[in-house]
Amino acid sequence: MLEGKKLLITGVMTRRSIAFAVAERALNGGAEVVLTSFGRARRMTERAAKQLPETPDVLELDVNRPEDFEALTAELRSRWGGLDGALHAIAFAPEDALGGNFMRTPPESAEAAFRTSAFSLKALGEALEPLFDYGGGSLVGLDFDASVAWPVYDWMGVSKAALEAVGRYLARDLGPQGVRVNLVSAGPIETPAAGGIPGFEQLAGSWGQQAPLGWDAEDPSPVADAVCFLLSDLSRGVSGEILHVDGGFHAMGVAAKQ
């Protein structure tokens, strides 16, 4: 499905990352992969990379530094000449923008959440656009359902709503050159990033009660498989879409009686 594809994957922190599962499947499927990270987290990414079927290079990318995007574009052009697909798995909100602090969050914290978690998808698309010129491609982002208000998710929820809008506008603007832009709205997965969200364990623990297919918060493979589908040519007619991989939770009004 991904044989010969050249893919950029962000967001690998540990083996528990959804992005790690995507990279693992892509490599096993015959793709060429590079990862990104930055700062102190880069050492964690490099350790995780060594646990993949092949050890991909890790490129520097802080999504809040325009110069990093310029260097990324140049490096990928030099390395491959072009690109087939990329995964955006990047999100961050300051502590005072989560945990029930919605009404007290200062504007600079809300802006930081938006810029890192939503605007970065546009910035990544802009940086990769020249590399897709040789035949289209696929840009996929990881999402969490922003159609409702979640307890304690606060400005990260607002940022996810913005991410969904950014995905639609990118699909509009990149579509004429054959680039697809889609999001995967995943159910809660026990990742390093999720550990920083107050109340996550309670949400993950109760998810399966409303999801008709059930839900295993320790298994990122259903989400990773959906991402790989969207990165592949099998999704060549799909763009501007939000694909829910949550056990059916999003479609249910309330939890079914047990």
pLDDT in tens, 34-92: 999 999 999 999 999 999 999 999 999 999 999 999 999 999 999 999 999 999 999 99
Please compute the mean of the pLDDT values over residues 105-121 and round it to a whole number. 98
Q: Is 122 a residue of the active site?
A: no
* Distance between CA atoms of residues 235 and 56, nearest Å: 25
pLDDT at 237 over 80: yes
Closest by CA to 125, choosing from 82, 202, 78, 181, is: 181
pLDDT at 196 over 70: no
pLDDT computed for residue 195 by the predictor? 67
pLDDT computed for residue 258 by the predictor? 58
Is residue 190 classed exposed, middle or buried when 0-12, 13-18 and 19+ CB atoms within 10 A define those classes? middle
Average predicted confidence (pLDDT) for the chain: 94
| Vertex 13: Cα angle to 53 and 25 (nearest 5) | 35
pLDDT computed for residue 235 by the predictor? 98
72-76, 124-128, 199-203: segment of lowest average pLDDT: 199-203
Residue of 50, 122, 153, 169 with catalytic role: 153
Helices 120-128 and 66-80 sit at what angle, rounded to 10 degrees?
A: 30
- Give 206's pLDDT tier (boundaries 50, 70, 90): confident
pLDDT computed for residue 204 by the predictor? 81
Residue 258 tokens, joined: 């047990």
Please compute the mean of the pLDDT values over residues 101-114 and round it to a whole number. 97
pTM: 0.95
Domain 6-246 of CATH type 3.40.50.10320: no
pLDDT computed for residue 134 by the predictor? 65
Side-chain-side CA neighbours of residue 177 (13 Å): 18
pLDDT computed for residue 257 by the predictor? 62
* Distance between CA atoms of residues 199 and 195, nearest Å: 9
Question: What is the enclosing helix (H) or strand (E) of 129?
Answer: none
Contact 221, 249 (CB under 8 A): no
In the chain, domain spans: 6-246
Q: Is 160 a residue of the active site?
A: yes
Tokens 């993950």 correspond to what residue? Answer: 204
Question: What is the enclosing helix (H) or strand (E) of 252?
Answer: none
What are the Cα distances from residue 170, in Å, to 122, 133, 173, 177?
A: 7, 15, 5, 12
Residue of 50, 160, 169, 257 with catalytic role: 160
